[in-house]
Amino acid sequence: MTRKEIASAMQLNDEHSTFGASALIMAAVKATVDYYNMHKEELLSNAKRMGEYAMKRLMELYDKHPLIGEVRGGLGLMIGIELVKNRKTKEPATKETSDICLNRALKRGVLFVTSGWNGNVIRFAPPLTVKQEHIDKAIDVLDKSLGEVEREENIK
């Protein structure tokens, strides 16, 4: 589904779906939806509690690390951590964000995804079933990685 002007520019075979029509994927989707429906209240409650906990921990990092320009939290577990070279100018720390996500955190066993127009936002989006110890590990890894980059890049 798309707008008419986009659809008119498409050629044959431009559309695709990586997992489309796979019986295995459809079975997994059905099992996930069934599980969610059975445990909906428990999962939503966990997302709320763990989201609040993650925001508290990330705000502690904000106070500690000048590389963090903003911690954006919504409801639950979808949180964005914007990295900037300078909090006053808000200059995006794109290279630093990439280094943290693709090198430092990954080597420590945590996968963070970048987003944002400038690629300087770390997307913190654990599953609804996340436990506090997993959030602690991810945030501890982020803390160490931020500290290393700040020292190397002399960010104060």
Per-residue confidence (pLDDT) for residue 7, from 0 to 100: 64
- Mean residue pLDDT of the chain comes to 89
* Residue bearing tokens 């200059």: 91
Helix (H, G, I), strand (E, B) or coil at 62: helix
Q: What is the pLDDT of residue 79?
A: 96
pLDDT for 91 equals 96
3-state helix, strand, coil in the chain (%, to 5): 55, 15, 30
From CA 62, how far away is CA 92, in angstroms rounded?
Answer: 16
pLDDT at site 64: 97
Residues 54-57: contacts with CB under 8 Å, at least 24 apart:
54/79, 54/124, 54/126, 54/135, 54/139, 55/79, 57/135, 57/136, 57/139
Could you state, in chain order, the average pLDDT of each consecutive group of 10 residues for the chain (156 residues)? 67 56 79 86 92 96 98 88 96 96 94 92 92 97 98 90
Structural Rg of the chain based on CA atoms: 19
Q: Which domains does the chain have, with CATH numbers?
A: 21-153 (3.90.1150.10)
pLDDT at 21: 62
Q: What is the pLDDT of residue 70?
A: 97
Q: What pLDDT score does 4 carry?
A: 75
pLDDT at 16: 56
Is the pTM value of this prediction over 0.85?
no
Residue with tokens 């990092």: 61
**Maximum Cα–Cα distance across the chain:** 53
